[in-house]
Amino acid sequence: MEVVKAALDAGLPVVQLRDKDMDGGALFALAERLRAETAARRARLLINGRVDVAVAVGADGVQLGTGAVSVADARRLLPPHSLVGVSTHAAAEMAAAAGADFAVFGPVYATPGKRAVGPEALASAVEAGPLPVIAIGGIAAAEVPAVRAVGAAGVAVIRAILAAADPAAATRGLLAALAR
Helices and strands counted in the chain (H then E)? 8, 7
Count CB-CB contacts under 10 A for residue 87: 23
pLDDT of residue 37: 98
Q: What's the pLDDT tens digit per position in 107-140?
A: 999 998 889 999 999 999 999 988 999 999 999 9
- CA gap 16, 90 in Å, rounded: 21
Q: Give the count of domains, the chain.
A: 1
pLDDT of residue 26: 96
- Boundaries of domain holding 111: 2-179
Q: Is the peptide bond before 79 cis (omega within 30 degrees of 0)?
A: no
Any idea what the CATH number is for the domain that residue 139 is in? 3.20.20.70
**For the chain, which ranges sit under pLDDT 70?**
none
Global pTM reads 0.94
- CA gap 133, 69 in Å, rounded: 20
